[in-house]
Chain A
Amino acid sequence: MKQKKLLASMLLAFSATAAMADITVGVTVSATGPAASLGIPEKNTIALVPTTIAGQKVNIIVLDDASDTTTAVKNAKKFVTENKVDVIVGSTITPASLAMIDVAAESETPMISMAASRAIVDPVDAKRRWVYKTPQNDAQMSTAISEHMTNSGVKTVAYIGFSDAYGEGWSNEFAGVAKARKLDIVANERFNRADTSVTGQVLKIIAAKPDAVLIGGAGTPAALPQKTLKEKGYKGIIYQTHGVANADFLRVCGKDCEGTFLPAGPVLVADQLPNDNPVKKTAQEYVAKYEAAHGKGSVSTFGAHAWDAFKLLEAAVPVALKKGQPGTKEFRTALRDALEGVKNLPVAHGVFNMSATDHLGFDQRARVMVKVEGGSWKLVK
């Protein structure tokens, strides 16, 4: 009899905790492998996000996918089958995120990607209904560059980019907007992340005499073409992409990067934003939190994508909680719907206005033009 009572009370206790279930978030980031310089700040950021949303405890499971598509899918599958997560956050890079879409759609779990390509959320079809992302589209960034080029009187442009999805994507995006703005692309070259020399490509570019050069690379490897261009005496304007927006790039590139222009998320120059910019406050909040934990000047724009993913959750979870308990299918569906309903949410990289056809929800406030001046980023007014 006593035993039965104990059993009953244990069952009761168990069901009680099940009813008050925590929200479980599965995060997969590329903390090692080629995308490690993006994945590490994201991973660091995850440690800074709030552990309760709307009074509910948030369990965050972080796995590393080593910048590998197969591992990312394996992580996603583990999240939905073993951990029964309510939402998946990740991955860092486009190929991995694209492959994870199937897992998210099949298990009807909302997914927020931290990778850039538009293909992750566009078009919003039966599968991509479940998928959102926080980084700006390459198209938004490339229009910012081409606009700046036309305003600076540039007529001919040379492009040199990574020989991978990033460089190829930028090449295509930029070719599109350049045509619209009547910019002439006079050279189109590729280099590898691990290359020790780009002399051949740079000589070809200089021989084509372009007014400006656009370098489509990410992180410190993008400094190599720029240093070689300067070394070989190139005098035109040099543009970089938002992929270089971290302190390590400035450290490696040094004085050769003075005067470089690039488009970036506003978080990069949070303190220089005008006071009436809605992004300023949230961007400064993120920078302050990150630098308090990792030291001054350690913040990069990549970590902010993870921050924004959790900002989205903070906005959507309270709405979804009204419709179901975490851990259930109802909650996941409600969370998906709530994410789609996020309106006018200022985050570190812009202002989210989600809709049934736009699962990124950023407008022109999500990018600024930045110039490298005196070894730091300066907002171009």
Chain B
Amino acid sequence: MDFQIALLLGQDGLTNGAIYALLALALVLVFAVTRVIFIPQGEFVAYGALTLAALQAGKVPATLWLVLALGAAVTAIDSAQALRHGATRRLPRIIAVNLVAPLLLWLLLTSVDLVGLPLIGQIALALAIVVPLGPMLYRLAYQPIAEASVLMLLIVSVAVHVVLIGLGLLFFGAEGTRTPAFTEGTLDLGATTLQYQTLWILASSAVLIVALYAFFGRTIYGKALRATALNRTGARLMGISTTMAGKLSFTLAALIGAFSGILISPVTTLYYDSGFLIGLKGFVGAIIGGLVSYPVAAAGALLVGFLESYSSFYASAYKEVIVFTLIIPVLLWRSLTSHHSEEEE
């Protein structure tokens, strides 16, 4: 291996690692706030990319029907609850957010020329369709059992993952798609060339990570999420709604997932089921951070990216084995170094 190959592999590892890092952060966020191991995280990657591809093909993406259906279900459940408690004042808001907003989106999609829209408009539309799925899924699948054990929440996660994969095949078909790059072309750096899209991925990941940092450190909502993560009961006593915290963390996770998908779909072909493996690699990163530490999770995800890239050069047949075997020494090390406090579950 000469210097140039090492450089190219490093660049590839960094690009993949940046995406894994974003997903690892989302996984840590969701787990810290709601104790849910969010296996369907990867599905948002695929949904984001494939929804954008459908928009670019001039079709109304089938994910919209899912948003409408879930929105109707949430409206029905929340309205019934509100009526039972006599809180009719809450009704207009429930209906506006879960029913009227998706319908308006539908109207917008059918009235504008999707193909002729600039890329940024298409991306905004794709995100507007996919991101609401996050809080809606939380409301329907997780909120009713928010106080259940981690294991039960994990089992529900598996179920949601399987359902979303099945729907993905139904919505998008078995074949994959690619979307055009944000900026076409490559940058010549002498020793190596760099696709502009790679720069986009790295820059967007960095901006998102800094934005999350600022969100948690400086905004009231971010602080509320952190408080909930530290101590649910304590946060509730301070007047922080854990339901709000759960929905917000799922919204962020869906946003990060869908945007990651949109970022990488110009450099690789994405399928209805590719999200799972990408999410799993982010999960390995999150595990390295013990599902609590954001910086360690991001660093772990970058490590996964590099390991993947270099092992694909040396032993391509064993690449996945090498990447996922990483989790064993990490778990061993974590179980030896961290002291256990037997919490009641």
Name A's B-contacting residues (CB within 8 A). 32, 34, 36-37, 40, 160, 163, 189-192, 194-201, 203-204, 207, 219-221, 223-224, 231-232, 246, 248, 251-252, 254
Contacts and interface: CB of A to CB of B under 8 A. Distances in A.
A221 B175 CA distance: 9
B49 to A, nearest CB: 11
Contacts, number: 98
Given A36-B169, A196-B264, A252 B316 contact: no
Contact of B269 (A160, A221, A231): A221
B263 to A, nearest CB: 11
Nearest to B4: A203
Contacts of A189: 316-317
B169 A203 contact: no
Nearest to B195: A231
B176 A200 contact: no
A224 B12 CA distance: 14
Interface stretch (B115-123, B141-149, B233-241, B306-314): B306-314
Contacts of A231: 195
Contacts of B311: 200
Interface size class of B (residues with CB under 8 A): 35 or more
B269 A197 contact: no
A55 B308 CA distance: 60
7 tightest CB-CB pairs across the interface, nearest first? Answer: A200-B312, A200-B313, A36-B174, A248-B175, A37-B174, A199-B12, A190-B317
B320 interface: yes
Contacts of A220: 175-176, 269, 271
Interface of B: 5, 8-9, 12, 15-16, 19, 166, 169, 173-178, 195, 264, 267-271, 273-274, 276-278, 308-314, 316-317, 319-320
Contacts of B320: 163, 192
Nearest to A167: B317
Given A32-B169, A200-B313, A207 B5 contact: yes
A196 B317 contact: no
A37 B268 contact: no
15 contacts: A32-B169, A36-B169, A36-B174, A37-B174, A189-B317, A196-B16, A197-B268, A201-B313, A203-B313, A219-B174, A220-B271, A231-B195, A246-B175, A251-B177, A252-B176
Contacts of A201: 312-313, 316
Nearest to A248: B175
A198 B175 contact: no
Contacts of A207: 5
A196 B175 contact: no
A38 B270 CA distance: 17
Given A196-B274, A197-B15, 15 more contacts: A36-B169, A40-B173, A160-B316, A190-B316, A191-B316, A192-B277, A195-B268, A199-B309, A200-B12, A203-B8, A219-B174, A221-B271, A248-B175, A248-B176, A252-B175
A32 B166 contact: yes
B9 A203 contact: yes
